[in-house]
Structure 1
Amino acid sequence: MHQSTPVIKKPWIETPLIESATLSKLAGCKIFLKLELLQPSGSFKSRGVGNLILSALKNPANKNKAVHLYSSSGGNAGLAAVHAARDLNCACTVVVPHSTKPMMINKLRSAGATDVVQHGASWFEADTYLRENFIEKQPSPEENAVNVYVPPFDHPDIWEGAGSMVDEIAAQLPAREKGGRQVAGAFPADAIVCSVGGGGLFNGVVAGLEKHMDEFGSGTDIPGVKKVHVLAVETKGADSLAHSLKNGQLSSLDAITSLATSLGALCVAKKTLANAKYPPPGVQVSSLVGSDADAARGVLRLADEMRLQVELACGISLEVAVAGRLKEVMPDLNSDSRVVVVVCGGSNITAEMIAEFRQRLDEGWE
């Protein structure tokens, strides 16, 4: 009797998309929130990291081997790897720099990390240590095991996983109408706003839109339908994409000076810059940068208006969307425009931190 291959559970969920009347009024357009903070790990990272891990488990070369995952992130990517590993019955070790806060290390351990190793002063040093000691040095054949590298953002499987939210957005929003008639194949949002660290989320959004355009035509081929705008948002001091765009080539920041440490990639992935400079047909990309104080305002808006708790790296996208910045790159924005803000979430936040942001803003933080 033929025995079917067991189905491996996806370690992420479909998240709600909700419209906020209050935020829409503030922004002058229809604001929809894609609630990625509801993912099992607390952020969108569950999608990309989860998809990479699924691919590793389905790889024939790893069949019947004990898979041990190694993640070089003390932040949301590491937490996503640990949650996915727990769901998929794998071991997971996370290597973090010494700058990682005790709160995050405790979260990694509580979520079920096999081990949390601290090494180096930066993510780059932690990542180098991980690859040299656990990925380049694999278990012996007799152990029948494999060590799998789980990077935080720079991998096609991660982009594909993050892009899965675009299919959900397309299904969750009503079809686009023109002159009272639905326009078949047109993506139902005018813009998607997302935060950029190394570019895993941004690359996923662009890839997801490209897939949609391929299925329904290029987007530019549909009469009366404009390109979908993707707004890539960063904070000053962690604006590695804006820095590379300004220099016209892939360039590294000297240091991360933003408090939004989840955006703290000194240099974006090569694919991130390529997508920003040469997006696929039907997609337009704009880079916007705000301050840490702007990010804090976004955090407070989500806490006060929507009762949602997110970190600074997420708050900056909401603030850019509702505080008048959209008009800079979308001059034709109007009350019927549909803008989706990816509420990417993040675990580096507490009620006490939000209260501190409020106090600093009251004292004139700009």
Structure 2
Amino acid sequence: MTQSQPSVKTSLIEITKKLAKEPPCRIFLKCEYEQPSGSFKLRGMGHLIGTSLEEASKSGKKIEVFSSSGGNAGLAAAYASKHYGFPCTVVLPVSSKPVVIEKLEGLGAKVVVHGKHWGEADGYLRDDVIKHLDDSIYPVYCHPFEHPLLWDGHGKFIDEIVEEKQLTPEELSKVKGVVCSVGGGGLYNGVVNGLERNEELKDVPVLAIETHQTPTFKVAVEAGKVVHLNEINTLSTSLGSPYVSEKSLSNYKSHKTSLEVIDDLDAVKGMIDFYDLTGNLTEPACGASLSVAFDKIQLLKDFGELEKDDIVIIVACGGSGVSASTLEDYRKLVNERDAKEKI
């Protein structure tokens, strides 16, 4: 496509001195919540859709974009489709928040709600929607995490840190790790891609965070193969994939990666702590990685002995499934848990 990409450049900010618990190193956030769709997903989805439309335009058919999502991939698909001027249909699971549906409809997307989790929504999209389309329609199907173009697009925020000189050459040499949340693995794959194509960062390890309620990566690593979970029940709905990408398992074996599993409410607390510090709403899925800056600083041990001038970058991936009232509901859950733990 000749148009510009729908994603934008995002900030890299240091929060070291703002943290209540003193970290062993400098902590930076890559602020992907600044993307117009609300999350990092727009980088990969914009790249996937833009590239796919080039091929689709040769068909002479009516082009429509289709995506399944826990929320944020759908919002990215809808935003990118609107940017390029094509209709978009998004299938969401019943666990999706009303605020996400409102935002999708506000972007002009057709919304279908089906299935208990993303996996069922995706199956319905492929088997019951796309397969029965009129032959005059060219469907551009956008998987939310399983496509090389997605990973290539997501990794551009790593390129940006280098190319936009968001860190000096000396600071780049001090980067000891990148922290990201893991659901289906698209973000993790993008981080590895971005690191490995930048000489200054190619050997930087990754700390991947998921929750006990959706341990797809941990289960796959332990089994040595991708495993499909039978059931998902999580507050971190954007991490609610029944399986992790095959490429994630491959990256885990080839790129130095640590995997930590925390509780849903720890992820929720990370989201709340971030809101209290910055006033920015994200999702529990984002809170999983952010928790490493606030309440789970001990997980930084996975990067070895850190010096005060060393740097760890946390991907503040964003998410649009939380409103101010939802956040207060989450706060009550965390407060209730903390009160019980003190007894």
- Output one character per residue of 1:302-324: Cα deviation in whole Å (capped at 9) or x when no partner: 11112221110001101124432
* Alignment map for 1:182-261 (pairs within 5 Å): 189-213=175-199, 227-261=203-237
Extract structure 1 runs of 4+ deviating beyond 4 A. Answer: none
- Looking at structure 2, the residues matched to 53 and 175 of structure 1 have their Cα atoms a distance apart, in angstroms, of 34
Q: Is 2:60 the counterpart of 1:88?
A: no
Q: Which runs of 5+ in 2 are unaligned?
A: none
- Looking at structure 1, the residues matched to 57 and 37 of structure 2 have their Cα atoms a distance apart, in angstroms, of 28
Q: CA deviation at 1:157?
A: 0.6
Contact 1:240 1:268 in 2 (8 A): yes
Q: CA deviation at 1:24?
A: 8.8
Structure 1 range deviating more: 196-205 or 290-299: 290-299
Q: 1:316 to 1:52 in 2, by over 3 A?
A: same
**Out of 148, 154, 160, which is 2:146 matched to?**
154
Q: 1:361 to 1:100 in 2, by over 3 A?
A: closer
Letter in 2 for 1:193: V
- Output one character per residue of 1:171-206: Cα deviation in whole Å (capped at 9) or x when no partner: 3111126xxxxxxxx656221111110011100010
Q: Is 2:49 the counterpart of 1:16?
A: no
Q: Is 2:273 the counterpart of 1:287?
A: no
Task: Compute the RMSD of aligned alpha carbons.
Answer: 2.1
Question: Which has more radius of gyration?
Answer: 1
Contact 1:299 1:314 in 2 (8 A): yes
Q: Which runs of 5+ in 1 are unaligned?
A: 1-5, 178-185, 220-226
- Output one character per residue of 1:18-73: Cα deviation in whole Å (capped at 9) or x when no partner: 11121396322111111101101000000111111011112266365432001111
- Looking at structure 1, the residues matched to 286 and 152 of structure 2 have their Cα atoms a distance apart, in angstroms, of 20
Q: 1:187 to 1:51 in 2, by over 3 A?
A: farther
Q: Is 2:45 the counterpart of 1:49?
A: yes
**Out of 19, 23, 33, which is 1:37 matched to?**
33
- Output one character per residue of 1:314-339: Cα deviation in whole Å (capped at 9) or x when no partner: 01101124432334312311211101
State the match for 2:334 in structure 1.
Answer: 361
- Looking at structure 2, the residues matched to 169 and 300 of structure 1 have their Cα atoms a distance apart, in angstroms, of 26
Q: Is 2:69 the counterpart of 1:73?
A: yes
- Looking at structure 2, the residues matched to 187 and 28 of structure 1 have their Cα atoms a distance apart, in angstroms, of 17
Count of residue pairs brought into register by the alignment: 335
Contact 1:238 1:263 in 2 (8 A): yes
Name whichever structure is richer in helix by fraction: 2
Quick one: percent identity of the two aligned structures? 42
Q: 1:56 to 1:275 in 2, by over 3 A?
A: same
- Looking at structure 1, the residues matched to 232 and 6 of structure 2 have their Cα atoms a distance apart, in angstroms, of 31
Contact 1:62 1:146 in 2 (8 A): no
State the match for 1:182 in structure 2.
Answer: none
SS in 1 for 2:116: coil
**Out of 100, 105, 113, which is 2:101 matched to?**
105
Q: CA deviation at 1:9?
A: 1.7
Letter in 1 for 2:259: S
Q: 1:187 to 1:52 in 2, by over 3 A?
A: farther
**Out of 278, 298, 319, which is 1:325 matched to?**
298
